[in-house]
């Protein structure tokens, strides 16, 4: 995403996380990703929800292009 002075011009959302994970070979839907939209660069936490109540916490690194 484009950024200036530590702020993004658009928000990073659960959909963006799901798309990035799919590019890495993970079959994750947007509905499975719990992530509060942000416009800030840096490290953020996200929770991925799987079947049978299984969850995984991941670290998301948001960087400017």
pLDDT at 4: 64
pLDDT at 46: 97
CA distance 65 to 23: 17
pLDDT at 30: 95
Q: How many domains does the chain have?
A: 1
How would you write the pLDDT of the chain (65 residues) with one tens digit per residue? 556 666 677 889 999 999 999 999 999 999 999 999 998 989 999 999 999 999 999 999 998 77
Contacts by 34-37, CB closer than 8 A, 24 or more apart: 35/60, 37/11, 37/12, 37/13
CA distance 42 to 52: 31
Q: What is the CATH number of the domain that holds 50?
A: 3.10.430.100
The H or E element spanning position 15 is: helix 14-23
Structural domain boundaries, residue 47: 3-62
**Model's pTM, two decimal places?**
0.82
């Amino acid at each position: 995403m484009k950024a200036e002075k530590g702020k993004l011009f658009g928000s990073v959302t659960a959909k963006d996380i799901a798309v990035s994970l799919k590019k890495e070979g993970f079959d994750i839907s947007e509905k499975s990703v719990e992530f509060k939209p942000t416009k800030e660069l840096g490290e953020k936490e996200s929770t991925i929800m799987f079947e049978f109540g299984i969850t995984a916490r991941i670290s998301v690194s948001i960087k400017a292009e």
